[in-house]
Structure 1
Amino acid sequence: MILVTGATGNVGAELVGALAEAGRPVRALSRTGRTDGLPSGAAGVEAVAGDLTGQRPCGTRWTA
């Protein structure tokens, strides 16, 4: 699983698309968790909400 931060931005969206095309599983992190800007229909892409500026940026979802 590859985490892409800023996944809905210009560079992030291109990176998510390229990784998905290559068959790599991707977790796409954006502040809202919206899928706007992500490649439509990309298999293996999971959109999640998170803000890396907070004390608990992604809640309990990110566990080892």
Structure 2
Amino acid sequence: MSNEIIKGGSFLIEDAENISIFTPEDFTEEQRMIAKTAEDYVAGEVVPVIEDLEAQKEGLM
């Protein structure tokens, strides 16, 4: 895998290296658990107060 910086929209027309493509099927059980934890947190703690967060309401933290 190279650390080459992709310029402009070249990522749309150049072939991607197989190693740089991630799919959910490639995730480990631990990675799936971390993703589920993050999803649950956002659904339970962030979404209910999203309007207040967007309005930068005092006292949310």
TM-score by length of 2: 0.26
Higher relative contact order (CA 8 A, sep 6+): 1
TM-score by length of 1: 0.25
Return the structure number with greater strand share.
Answer: 1
